[in-house]
Amino acid sequence: MSNNQNINTKIITPTGVVFSGDTESINIMTSAGEITILPNHAPLISKIDGGHAKLRTEDGEQIYAIGEGVLEIRQNSEVIILVSNAETATSA
């Protein structure tokens, strides 16, 4: 479980978990437009359009190229990103 300053984040594809860890924020493109997820975000389920996900961690920004999928924001700052494919695009 994460504390008030972090988001327990997982990026999952059909072949397995691509990322699992604490993040400070997430930027991702949904079918309704790009959103920024911060700790304690309201629960939400949304379709993800392919593109990228930017995860800010204590080590910097990690960018993942992702396919289409589903985003679930749960209570207690948990985010599950289920996508058809994902791979590291860059690290800052």
Residue 92 in this model has a pLDDT that exceeds 60: no
Whole-model pTM above 0.85? yes
Greater confidence (89 vs 40) lies with 40
Sequence-ordered strand ranges (E) for the chain: 7-13, 16-23, 25-30, 33-37, 44-57, 60-66, 69-74, 78-83, 86-91
pLDDT by residue (tens digit) across 58-79?
999 999 999 999 999 999 999 9
What per-residue confidence (pLDDT) applies to 4? 60
pLDDT given at position 89: 84
